[in-house]
Chain A
């Protein structure tokens, strides 16, 4: 206790500590950089690369190899492939993000309800178990097949396909989050501070919002990161099987599917979208790995 008189060092902010730990994970840093470049590419790509396309030119322009005017070449309808990659990437990433958001919000809601209210625990967890036993890919395919025309009739073909697929992926991938959150809530609600909050008369919704929710953020964030990767893969599987997005509103999966027919002559049409999907998923997985370490205070202290 001799050094009690010296001023204690300024406590590092938590975000800063998390960032310090995150930086030590080489894979995560690599993932962050690659994902950043990919996001820049799809968001701002069209401002840099937007070749004018006249309808009369497209016949002459079709099936060209890589050149200065079209770095990735053009497709069978004369459309510039670099431009299509940019546009498709925007949709792919948007699908991943929004489907993940739906899954996370729903999963967290179910998890908190099941963990906090004992009466709901049994039924909600049985529901989760049932969803886990559903054959997801076949079910998603069936949902898209059956509801595609109806939803497209209401919202238009592009928005319709987007809404349907995002919603379908979202409501079939919330189960992991719900289970993680439930486990966390079960331990959190026995803590003293929750007891204290209850003893001064705080209502359940206040306890959940102010005391429990902030403490389940870190496992949810890791689940969210991995959820993006999963949603992007699921969407591209649907597109790959021909039950995804329409060809004039492509995603990377759809571009790959379109390229398959020309696989023998123009293999690069399959490779570019495939590499883009794989790189995105790989970097997101690495970021999730790094986040898991960085958000875990037991590892962070060391």
Chain B
């Protein structure tokens, strides 16, 4: 198991390097980069200085290696300096945002908690809704509850989050006026009243994302339960005279959760992708909103870094899911 994990970790490195190269080259060679539209009225020597100041006169591979060094060495070490009060990275060039001239990673550090709070809660709510529904629909297969669950899940797959979110806004914010339409990032939770306020403003984004996730996860839970319900060990457990409750909730559920757990781990990165939409719709000031803002402002370092962070998340959670699967299910250990 350890060798498998180590091998997967080593394999992740070339994948990540390839992805970083793709992202870097895509952004670098694109015709729309701001360096290509310096106005013609700017004199040639000034133009040359502008290009030099941004480091854009270096060959591509030099810039790529520099960016890698910034991403993998300077930025983590700066964080290290910050935590332990050392100064190894004093005066080193960090990745700077072209919009604000401040380090990209400090902007991400400010935005990330907003994303994590909303998305983390949404995913948790989605799982909590999905598991009981999946279990009960499998237990009573082809019942009315199961058929209704299938229909709702199909609708949940098909209605895009930007529309379901908009519908929630129309119903609960415009007509009923229960929740605010926009998420207030500056709200600080200090007492009970502000905590309630925070809950109210989180309700709609969390429901939008949570329901979309619940649709998928409940289907996985159902089919995984169905696979296990017809197994021999279930018959044995019933034959022993165990109560139906013990059979379903202990024997079947534990085995059925194995694939579902990996699906949940695999879904986490795509959640961040989907969060871009929800964050924009509800005005949550997270990293998804930062990405859109950077794209509209042609802030290339920010875009490169954020896109690469999304890629790192995908690779990381794929790895976690693989390792977790082998860890939970001894039948498919890979060594």
Contacts and interface: CB of A to CB of B under 8 A. Distances in A.
What 6 A-B pairs come out closest when comparing CB atoms?
Answer: A146-B30, A135-B310, A274-B163, A282-B158, A150-B31, A146-B32
B174 A149 contact: no
Interface stretch (B14-22, B49-57, B247-255, B256-264): B14-22
B170 to A, nearest CB: 5
A137 B276 contact: yes
A169 to B, nearest CB: 14
B292 interface: yes
Contact of A278 (B15, B163, B274, B292): B163
Contact of B273 (A138, A145, A150, A270): A138
A135 B157 contact: no
A130 B158 contact: no
A138 B160 contact: no
B174 A263 contact: yes
Interface stretch (A85-93, A95-103, A234-242): A234-242
13 contacts: A130-B15, A133-B15, A134-B311, A134-B314, A138-B291, A141-B276, A142-B307, A143-B26, A150-B32, A241-B277, A241-B292, A282-B159, A286-B154
A241 B280 contact: yes
Question: What is the predominant secondary structure among interface residues of chain A facing chain B?
Answer: helix
Contacts of A139: 23, 26, 307
Contacts of A256: 162-163, 166
Given A240-B162, A271-B167, 6 more contacts: A134-B19, A135-B313, A141-B291, A142-B23, A241-B276, A278-B163
Nearest to B150: A27
Interface of B: 15, 18-19, 22-23, 26-27, 30-33, 154-155, 157-160, 162-163, 166-167, 169-170, 174, 181, 269, 273-274, 276-277, 280, 291-292, 295-296, 298, 303, 306-307, 310-311, 313-315, 318
Contacts, number: 125
A222 interface: no
Interface residues of A, number: 41
A263 B169 contact: yes
Contacts of A278: 155, 158-160, 163
Contact of A146 (B31, B157, B160, B280): B31
Contacts of B31: 146-147, 149-150
A286 B155 CA distance: 10
A135 B32 contact: no
A242 B289 CA distance: 13
A241 B167 CA distance: 17
A138 B33 contact: no
Interface in A209-259: 229, 233, 236-237, 240-243, 256
Interface string A115-139: 0000000000000011001111111
A282 B154 contact: yes
Given A27-B154, A133-B314, A241-B280, A274 B166 contact: yes
A236 B162 contact: yes
A150 B157 CA distance: 35
Contacts of A271: 167, 170
A179 interface: no
A281 B158 contact: yes
Contacts of A277: 160, 163
Interface in A52-86: none
Contact of B307 (A135, A147, A281): A135
A141 B155 contact: no
Contact of A281 (B160, B277, B292, B310): B160
Given A27-B154, A260-B166, A263-B166, A138 B306 contact: yes
Interface string A129-169: 11001111111011101111110000000000000000000
Contacts of B30: 142-143, 146-147
A133 B311 contact: yes
